[in-house]
Amino acid sequence: MQTPINIYEAAGGENTFRRLIEHFYGYVAAHPDLSPLFPEDFSEIKAKQYAFLTQFFGGPPLYLQEYGQPMMRARHLRFPVTPKRAKAWLSCMSRAMDDVGLEGQIRQFMFQRLNLTANHMVNTEEE
């Protein structure tokens, strides 16, 4: 019997995920469709995103321990997440994944899960 792959560890663990978050929010801060949704200081958001992605991809349950159940859709309802913004978010994440060298099946799996999640966050039609 084959042991299931822990994506968090297979992708490089803490180091990779911290770098991914840094690159990702660099792109978000510069994106005209996304930056207006975020505060000027990304420190807290980076910490939350790191905790969420770590847990989401099989690492320690950091988000649960610090913030409780993720309930991401409910937490994002106060923000106008349009299909265009979900696509922009995914574009920023894809670029960040390139920057940190995620590739192959691990990247494909991660991006597929993030794609489902980003589209699940959509709560507003295009303006």
Q: What are 12-40's pLDDT values in tens digits?
A: 999 999 999 999 999 999 999 999 999 99
Nearest to 88 by CA among 17, 18, 23, 32: 32
Q: Are 120 and 84 in contact (CB under 8 A)?
A: no
Q: What is the pTM of this model?
A: 0.90
Nearest to 52 by CA among 25, 82, 17: 17
Q: Are 96 and 110 in contact (CB under 8 A)?
A: no
Question: In angstroms, what CA-CA distances link 46 with 4, 23, 103, 125?
Answer: 28, 11, 22, 27
Is 78 buried (19+), middle (13-18) or exposed (0-12) by CB count in 10 A? exposed
**Which residues 6+ apart lie within 8 Å of 73 measured at CB?**
120, 121, 123
Is 81 buried (19+), middle (13-18) or exposed (0-12) by CB count in 10 A? buried
Q: What are 36-66's pLDDT values in tens digits?
A: 999 999 999 999 999 999 999 999 999 898 8
